[in-house]
Structure 1
Amino acid sequence: MTIINRYLAFQIVMGLGIATVILLPLFGFLDLLDQLGDVGKGTYQVKDAFLNTALLLPRRFIQLAPFIVLLGNVVALGRLAVGSELTALRVAGLSPTRISLAPLAVGLVLLLVTMVLDQFVAPQLQQKAISSRAVALEKSAALGKQLGIWTRNKRNILRIGEMLHAGKAADVELMHFDDNGFLLTYTYAKYAVFIDGDLWEFNDVTTKTFTGNQIESASTNSMQWKSFLNPDDISTLTKPPESLSPIELFLHVRFLRATGQEADAYALALWRKVGGALTTIAMLLLSIPFVFGSVRAGLANRLVVASMLGISVYLFDQIIANVGLLWHLNPALTALLPGLVLIALASFWLRRIF
């Protein structure tokens, strides 16, 4: 029985490898085309496009994992079915449930690998690609076009117009309010340098103080300000939500909600990581009836149907995510719904076949 388990696991790993070799270069090539569109802007060169595409591959692999699982298992089990090996295993006394344990086990290992990549590898490489591309294109990371980076706590609103690099910002505005929400001071700094921890130094500063019906204005070359943000917070604010690790997303969502800010985009990105795991499990379950439920179908037909299902799932997931963000639906429900629906569908299909 151990020999059969190893053989099945080997075939599943081969199938996953084939699906990875097909899907990852394909989507990597599409990413490369997008990167090549910026060649010639600023100091961005062809080698930068190839390097950034390579840095984005771990993130792309994580995104493709559910579809790699689906196609890989269909390829592996389909090859066994075409070669009558599944029939031989059934004659030898192995039930479909027993045979299905091998793809489930290998798929769960792949899921664990993607979780490790998502926490420790993909975010760092993706952020490096975003940062190097922005520097080469002479662009700064911002939350909105020409709007800068906005954040706040209970009594302060901070706007950073442009991040020049990790330790320096330009076009900085700070608004300080009293407990009743009335504006006390407005400070504008042409530049802000992050000295140490949460201590900032403003340069070329203009400060306006509001007292009653009077406004007093003063200018100074520099001043220090103890920020409510630390360098990690600033770094997180300049990164797209999908490029953050699960722990970074969790901490940032908690920070945004604690300071009364909109956190839906980051909360949705966090829950979509959980939703991606559910979708991977669903694809594992769906790949089994594709083979056992289509005995007369050839491998090519199975792959075509599986590919159409994968595309449909991807489009459904994207539509649900964007609608949920637009309509301010519950992020957890929005992110988990596609995976839960697919698991229910797979369970129903499996019960009918087995």
Structure 2
Amino acid sequence: MRLQRYVLSVTGTRILGAAAVLLGILQVLDLLEVTTDILDRGLGMGGVFYYAALRTPRLIEQVAPISVLAGGLFAFSQLARESAIIAMRAAGISAYRIVAMAAPAAVAMMLLDFTCAQLIAPRTDPILDAWWKAHTPAADRKETGPVSFRVGDDLVVAANSTADGRTLNAVKIYRRDKSGRMVERVEAPSAIYAAKGWSLSRAVTTRFAGERVDTITTTQMSWASALRPVDVQALFSDNPAPSADSAKRALLNGGTDRPPSYYETRLLGAYAGPFGALIMLLLSAPVALANFRSRQGAVLLTVGLAAGLVFLVVDGLLSALGESGAVSPILAVWGAPVIFGALAINALVNLEG
């Protein structure tokens, strides 16, 4: 138990240190781009810290995998240099067990990654977007609409929306039959979301039946839709990043402006992405068995770092192909983790043997 705590302590502190350094670098680079704008808008240093706090969850999501790789390489190389690995193996402890001792640190980073990406960031992103737009000078403001999207079988066009996503302005809803012909058009100055769903004010409904056109005007009209305010915020956002919940709603007839393959890949990736931390730990594990009195240590360090970076590139490339529909979403999401995980385990088995 004491040995396990020692290995976990060495690995955990190195991973935490790598995460802190990488997060600090990304935070500084991010602030370099926006600090001048924040200060010019009269928001002061308080605005800088507010922006940094709201951006932190997304930055943690970015640094989590690479911090496990860097921390694992540092930790295992230190244990190898101090001959701690040799002592443990002489006591009958295999390399697999040593990796298992360090695994809880990677699991903790994996859970932090999932929490930030799926629970915290989806709440902070709309707040940051609304705050930034509210303090943008009138001369620099850009219109985000009109935006076209699909809600179930309906096609919807809206000029713009409020920051909370509860109001759509200048709404047009086009309904089609099974053959794809438009059979009805609903136009309304605004659509407001309340507890009972969407309500269209002063709606004008035009029905098309062959050459016949009927028009009906109603003061208030209910719009049965799976669309939610959070979906509207994402649709009108400059940099939407669908969470697992929003991707699932999109696949269940929520608001979508992309093909189904995009949301399927995002949904699967939300749960598969955090496992990248475990893959990074496996890629760094062979360094523990390296002989640092020869060139083997430096070679394995370089190969481990290169393999981790290539994994990120391949994973990102497959995800992009999956989102576009070029490859299956399952292959896009799990292809890189399975391939690189197998390669890492194979290298560990060969070195152990």
TM-score normalised by structure 2 residue count = 0.82
Residue 262 of structure 2 corresponds to which residue in structure 1? 265
Gap change, CA 1:199 and 1:95, over 3 Å in 2: closer
Contact 1:153 1:260 in 2 (8 A): no
Q: Structure 2: which 5+ residue stretches go unaligned?
A: none
Residue 250 of structure 1 corresponds to which residue in structure 2? 248
Q: 1:329 aligns with which of 327, 330, 334?
A: 327
In 1: Cα distance, 2:251 partner to 2:127 partner: 22
**3-state SS, counterpart of residue 150 of structure 1:** strand
Residue 315 of structure 2 corresponds to which residue in structure 1? 317
**3-state SS, counterpart of residue 329 of structure 1:** coil
In 2: Cα distance, 1:294 partner to 1:151 partner: 59
Residue 289 of structure 1 corresponds to which residue in structure 2? 286
Residue 337 of structure 2 corresponds to which residue in structure 1? 339
AA in 2 matched with 1:133: W
AA in 2 matched with 1:278: F
Gap change, CA 1:168 and 1:40, over 3 Å in 2: farther
In 2: Cα distance, 1:59 partner to 1:299 partner: 34
In 1: Cα distance, 2:271 partner to 2:231 partner: 25
State whether structure 2 residue 170 is matched by structure 1 residue 171: yes
Contact 1:279 1:342 in 2 (8 A): no
How big is the shift at 1:226?
2.5
AA in 1 matched with 2:279: A
AA in 2 matched with 1:274: Y
Residue 21 of structure 2 corresponds to which residue in structure 1? 22
Gap change, CA 1:300 and 1:170, over 3 Å in 2: farther
Instruction: Summarize the alignment of residues 1-354 of structure 1 with structure 2, pairs less than 5 Å apart.
Output: 2-36=1-35, 39=38, 47-48=46-47, 50-137=49-136, 146-154=145-153, 156-166=154-164, 167-178=166-177, 181-203=180-202, 206-215=204-213, 222-232=219-229, 234-235=231-232, 237-238=234-235, 242-244=241-243, 246-255=244-253, 262-295=259-292, 296=294, 305-354=303-352
How big is the shift at 1:200?
0.9
Contact 1:38 1:44 in 2 (8 A): no
In 1: Cα distance, 2:171 partner to 2:142 partner: 14
In 2: Cα distance, 1:141 partner to 1:180 partner: 38
Contact 2:41 2:135 in 1 (8 A): yes
Gap change, CA 1:235 and 1:102, over 3 Å in 2: same
Q: How many residues align?
A: 346
**3-state SS, counterpart of residue 226 of structure 2:** coil
Contact 1:147 1:161 in 2 (8 A): yes
In 2: Cα distance, 1:43 partner to 1:349 partner: 56
AA in 1 matched with 2:73: V
**3-state SS, counterpart of residue 223 of structure 1:** strand
In 2: Cα distance, 1:197 partner to 1:47 partner: 39
Q: CA RMSD in A?
A: 3.6
**3-state SS, counterpart of residue 162 of structure 2:** strand
**3-state SS, counterpart of residue 202 of structure 1:** strand
Gap change, CA 1:217 and 1:38, over 3 Å in 2: farther
Q: Per-residue displacement from partner, 1:151-194 (whole Å, max 9, x unpaired)?
A: 2334x322222112332211211123345544333232233323
How big is the shift at 1:116?
3.5
In 2: Cα distance, 1:303 partner to 1:133 partner: 42
Q: Per-residue displacement from partner, 1:297-343 (whole Å, max 9, x unpaired)?
A: 59887665544333322222222222333353211211211111111
Gap change, CA 1:14 and 1:63, over 3 Å in 2: same
AA in 1 matched with 2:286: P
Contact 2:80 2:291 in 1 (8 A): no
In 2: Cα distance, 1:4 partner to 1:179 partner: 66
Contact 1:316 1:338 in 2 (8 A): yes
**3-state SS, counterpart of residue 241 of structure 2:** helix
Gap change, CA 1:323 and 1:226, over 3 Å in 2: closer
How big is the shift at 1:218?
6.9
Moved more, 328-337 or 101-110: 101-110
Q: Structure 1: which 5+ residue stretches go unaligned?
A: none
Gap change, CA 1:92 and 1:309, over 3 Å in 2: same
Q: Per-residue displacement from partner, 1:43-94 (whole Å, max 9, x unpaired)?
A: 8877545423322222322332221111111111222222333333334443
Moved more, 331-340 or 120-129: 120-129
**3-state SS, counterpart of residue 165 of structure 1:** coil
Gap change, CA 1:40 and 1:12, over 3 Å in 2: closer
TM-score normalised by structure 1 residue count = 0.81
Contact 2:148 2:158 in 1 (8 A): yes
Contact 1:140 1:164 in 2 (8 A): no
